[in-house]
Amino acid sequence: MPSLETLRESFAIADHVTFEYGPGDLIFAQVDNAHASARLALYGAHVTAYQPKGQAPVIFTSQASRYEAGAAIRGGIPICWPWFAAHPSDSGKPSHGFARITPWTLAETQALPNGATQLRFDLSDNADSRALWPHAFGLSYTVTVGNSLMVDLAIHNREAEAITYTGALHSYFHVGDVRQIHIEGLDGLDYLDKVRGMNRFTQAGVVRFDQEVDRIYLSTTAETVLHDPVLERTVHVAKRGSHSTVVWNPWAEKSQAMADMMDAGYVSMVCIETANAAENAVNIPAGDTAHLGAEIWLA
Ligand code: TA6
């Protein structure tokens, strides 16, 4: 893990990127440019904040989040990879894979001509990852902070045979009041409902929230639009290389049961996840690179 000094010397850019210690003594990159601000932990290459100038925060991060080795930050954009949710055959392995609980290497920062800031983080297999998932891989995560937030995970298969992954960019959005929002873009899709025994249903109309929602919408590449009448805005989420969209809100009881959520935390968040889950698992041929990406903007 490089020191704060090394990061500052190699990657700080005036009017774009600084580095500092945050909670749990984790190192964060703080982005402030003409368009927006954002915050990223090197631990998990985890975006924990994104806020266009003059707007309320777009991303939700729990005030009760843990910031410690082995635990995932609650909120932001956890990178769930190489498996989504519980490991399919070994419940002793970490939920949502190991990428979100592993320190990544900052490889590059750049000020773009349009005033946006770009950061790239890398992660390759090592003895720890191979003990959990026996494959050679190279991940490269590019985050572009501007009028929109773009995140792109490039997944390079370094094996001599195909690999299969499931995963998600598990984005948590800050909302005025989840009981008043709705999500457009999922009408007519089949989904697996975790709240109802992973049974399959078909979405009719927009998605609204009056109880726990935990669904994998299947075989969709469509953009979703989050309508927030309290914050008087819409949040658009467009996807790349993603064939599932996961929608999650834990509601009251689960929020209270989660040590890293405030009791009423569920009211001001919703997850819309750019995913490849269940039957949308992705096969990457030997030597190939697949992408999983999202662009998020306000209107
Ligand atoms: O993406 C939805 C989900 O898989 C839910 O079932 C819920 O458990 C959530 O993710 C959070 O998982 P985590 O491992 O971060 O507690």
pLDDT per residue rounded down to tens, the chain (299 residues): 889 999 999 999 999 999 999 999 999 999 999 999 999 999 999 999 999 999 999 999 999 999 999 999 999 999 999 999 999 999 999 999 999 999 999 999 999 999 999 999 999 999 999 999 999 999 999 999 999 999 999 999 999 999 999 999 999 999 999 999 999 999 999 999 999 999 999 999 999 999 999 999 999 999 999 999 999 999 999 999 999 999 999 999 999 999 999 999 999 999 999 999 999 999 999 999 999 999 999 99
What secondary structure does DSSP assign to the chain, as a single string?
---HHHHHHHH-BTTTEEEEE-GGG-EEEEEE-SSEEEEEETBTTEEEEEEETTS--SB-B-TT---STTS--SBSB-EEBSSSSS-SS-TTSPTTBSGGGSBPEEEEEEE-TTS-EEEEEEEE--HHHHHHS---EEEEEEEEESSSEEEEEEEEE-SSS-EEE-EEE-PEEE-S-GGG-EEES-TT-EEEEGGGTTEEEE--S-B--SS-EEEEE-S----EEEEETTTTEEEEEEEES--EEEEEE-HHHHHHH-TTS-TTGGGGEEEEEEEE-GGG-EEE-TT-EEEEEEEEEE-
Phi/psi zone of residue 281: left (φ > 0), alpha (ψ -120 to 50 degrees), beta? beta
- Tokens 């989050």 label which residue? 226
Residue 214: Cβ within 10 Å count: 20
> In the beta sheet, which residues pair with residue 172?
271
What is residue 35's predicted lDDT score, i.e. its pLDDT? 98
Regarding the beta carbon of 248 and ligand 1, being less than 6 Å apart is answered yes
Options 46, 170, 174, 243, the catalytic residue: 170
**5 has catalytic annotation:** no
- Classify burial at 160, counting beta carbons within 10 Å of its beta carbon; exposed 0-12, middle 13-18, buried 19 or more: exposed
Regarding the beta carbon of 67 and ligand 1, being less than 6 Å apart is answered no
Contact 274, 171 (CB under 8 A): yes
Question: Which of 46, 195, 207, 214 most suits a substitution to test ligand 1, by most atoms within 8 Å of the C-beta?
Answer: 214
